Structures are given as C-alpha cells and as structure tokens.
Amino acid sequence: MFFYYKIPYITIEPNCIWYMVKDLYDEETYIPIIGIHEFRKDQSAGREEFLFNELHGERHIGRPHKHDFFIIILFDIAEGVHTIDFHDYPIGNRQIHVLFPGQVHTWDIKPNTTGYQLMVQRSFFERFAPFFRFSFSHYINHPVISLTDNNFDLLKYEFDAIRDELKTGNSLQEVISARAAVIAAIVSKEAEAIFTDFKVFQSNPRLAKFNMLIDKFYKQEKLVGFYASKLNISSNYLNILCKTHLNISATKLIQQRVLLEAKRLLQSTDLSIKEIAFELGFIDHAYFSNFFKGHAGVTPTQFRDSDDT
C-alpha cells in the first residue's frame, strides 16, 4: 500500500532490488510490526496499495517499532527528532525521510509541524523503485535529505497531485505510479550530492557486491574469507579495499550489520537473549553477549532495559 510519508530517494538495480531488504521481510514472521491497515482510519486519502496522510502538529512515538511497508515523509515546516535504526536525525524544514520495511524507528515531532506521509505496499513500490538512482543501502545509511527550495516545491506539487488523485474515489494506479516515479527522480537528484559513499561503490563494484552479500549472509557467515571467495579475491585484498576506500576493515563491516540487527531484535521483539543469539547465528548465547558488549558498550540485557526506562 502507498502511504504518504516523507522519505529520501532510493535507487536499486531491478535484479537485485530485494537483496538489501529480503532479510527484513523474512524476519517479519515473528517480529511485531505495525501494518499499513493500522493507519486506514487516519488517512487523508488512499486505496488498497497506498495511503496518504497529512501531518499537523505534535506527534510522539516513544516505543521503537517496525512497519511492513515503505514510508516516504515530506516535511514542510518541522522540528523534532526522528530516530531511525538507533541514530537520531534532527527533523527540520523542507526535508524528505525514507523508511524501509523492518527498520526500527521512533520520533518526537514538535507542535506547528506540517508535512505529508506516503505509505506504500511492497508490491506497488516495485512499480517505481527503478526510478531511484541508487541502491537501497545508500538510502538506509542516509534516511534524511534536506531539500533545496526548488526541489521541495516540485515534490510538494507531486504529493498534492497524488492526494488529489486519491480523493477522486476512482484513482488510477498508472497516474499514482507516474507521480511516484517523478518523486523518485527528484529525490535521487537531490541525494546525489550527499551520497558520497555511492561514488565509492560505483567505482569499486567489488565493494558494492560485498555490501550486498553481507546483507544476504550476515546471520550465517561472519568470516571475511567466505565473502572474499564469493568475490573471487583474497581476504587480504578485500580488507585492503575496505580500509582504503571505506576507512574500515572488512570484519568491522560484517560486525556492524550483525550489531544493528541485534539492536533491532532487542528493542522490537520479546525474544530471549538466547533466542536472539541463535537467530543471529551464535551457537553460544554467552559468546553473543560478549560480542554485543564489546561493540555496544553494554550487555544485551542492559540495552533492552534502557529502552524500557
């Protein structure tokens, strides 16, 4: 379904479009999420595949949660904090925010805030996803984009057009899809200046493939050698590539992905520490606890309890 949300633009190769988010969907069988149907009563306009809402005033969501759909948020006048995957992003005027299924988020929006939310079901998102110029990983790493006045005005026009089309009562999917494609193109243009990591991956296809393989196999495979063999290079050379172009070791990249998912599971599920350890490929939950504390600075239990206070 399509929900009106303010999000940054995203581009993905058609044949690889779901590598970056497939795991998120696979986990939804037991991770509590909020489905698109929960928002129907508050929608300004919508249909089966998408919903459109307008934001007015203060909103607070303190409990981390996930969605099973895509969200694009366009803020006009806004102030607050949007926490996405445990990173705090200041909410400001003329921004676009992007959320993928499975990402954990909360927000604290101050009074006098105005904006739009576009909520989109996965099946419909696939229609215009190719118009996003960059891979999903870039938007996941940069979920908030500040807009120029001109591009904000262009986006607002398209958002308004989608809302008006939905309110006709017999809206056409083709019209909505075409408008969404324009939104994707504008966001991609705006995002190009801040996606510095895109240039790195574009000029180093092995690093882009490595990043994609991590998202696909991080639960089962945590050793650099596995990924190096998939890339037909040595572990040492893969590590050199990562340190040279990303200023981080190959092992650290894998560990960061594991840590992010551990945090998501700790905050958005009631799974025990042992169950989370098993889900992430740790045979011994004590080893998982040591891993988590070594990278997060607190134990899994302390991290979970801190969210409840």
Residue 212, domain CATH: 1.10.10.60
Decide which of 195, 225, 260 is a domain's last residue.
195
Same domain, 101 and 185: yes
132 phi/psi in degrees, rounded to 5: -80, 130
User: What single-letter DSSP state applies at residue 112?
Assistant: T
- The residue assigned the tokens 């249909």 is 47
> Which range is least confidently modeled, 3-7, 159-163, 265-269?
3-7
Q: pTM value?
A: 0.65
Q: How many of the other CB atoms lie within 10 Å of CB of 69? A: 27
Enter the tokens of residue 68: 């099973």
Alpha carbon 6 to its chain centroid, in Å, reads 12
pLDDT band at 5 (very low <50, low <70, confident <90, very high): very low
- CATH number, residue 31: 2.60.120.280
pLDDT digits (tens, 9 = 90+) for 193-221: 776 656 676 678 898 889 889 989 999 99
Q: Could you tell me which residues are beta bridge partners of residue 98?
A: 72
Q: Is the pLDDT of residue 266 over 60?
A: yes
Please indicate, yes or no, whether residues 181 and 215 belong to a single structural domain of this protein: no
Give me the phi and psi of 192, to 5 degrees please.
-55, -35
Same domain, 211 and 129: no
Which residues contact residue 244 at a Cβ distance below 8 angstroms, ignoring those fewer than 6 apart?
none
Whether 137 and 10 have beta carbons less than 8 Å apart is answered as no
The alpha carbon of residue 282 and the mean position of all alpha carbons in its chain are separated, in whole angstroms, by: 25
Q: Chain-wide mean pLDDT for the chain?
A: 81
Cα 247 to chain centroid distance, Å, stands at 23
Of 195, 219, 239, which residue sits at a domain end?
195
Examine the domain organization and report whether 219 and 144 are in the same domain: no
Per-residue pLDDT, 173: 82
In this prediction, residue 40 has a pLDDT band, given cuts at 50, 70 and 90, of low
Produce one character per residue of 171-196: b if its CB has 16 or more CB atoms within 10 Å, e if not: beeeebbbbbbbbbbbbbebbeeebe
264 membership: H or E segment, kind and range: helix 250-268
Tell me the per-residue pLDDT of 50-77, one tens digit each, with 9 for 90 and over: 888 899 988 887 777 888 888 999 999 9
Same-domain status, 215 and 172: no
Residues facing 2 on adjacent strands: 120
User: Which tokens is 138 given?
Assistant: 């870039």
Same domain, residue pair 26 and 155: yes
Predicted confidence at residue 286, as pLDDT, reads 94
Q: Identify whether residues 178 and 134 lie together within a single domain.
A: yes
* Beta-strand pair 70-75/95-99: antiparallel
* Residue 33 to residue 31: CA distance in whole angstroms: 6
Residue, of 52 and 30, whose pLDDT is higher: 52
Same domain for 47 and 190: yes
Q: How many domains does the chain have?
A: 2
Residue 30 confidence (pLDDT): 42
Tell me the C-alpha to C-alpha distance, in Å, between residue 78 and each of 108, 110, 111, 160: 11, 7, 8, 18
Please determine, for residue 308, whether its predicted confidence score (pLDDT) is greater than 90.
no
20 and 140: one domain? yes
The pairing of beta strand 105-109 with beta strand 80-84: antiparallel
- pLDDT tens digits, one per residue of 106-153: 899 999 999 999 998 887 887 777 777 766 677 777 889 999 999 999
Q: Where does a domain end: 147, 175, 195?
A: 195
Same domain assignment for residues 185 and 209: no
Residue 88's pLDDT band (cuts 50, 70, 90): very high
Per-residue model confidence (pLDDT) at position 47: 55
* Residues 209 and 119 placed together within one structural domain of the fold: no
* 236 and 272 housed in the same domain: yes
What value does the mean pLDDT take over residues 37-59?
A: 71
Domain that holds residue 60: 2-195
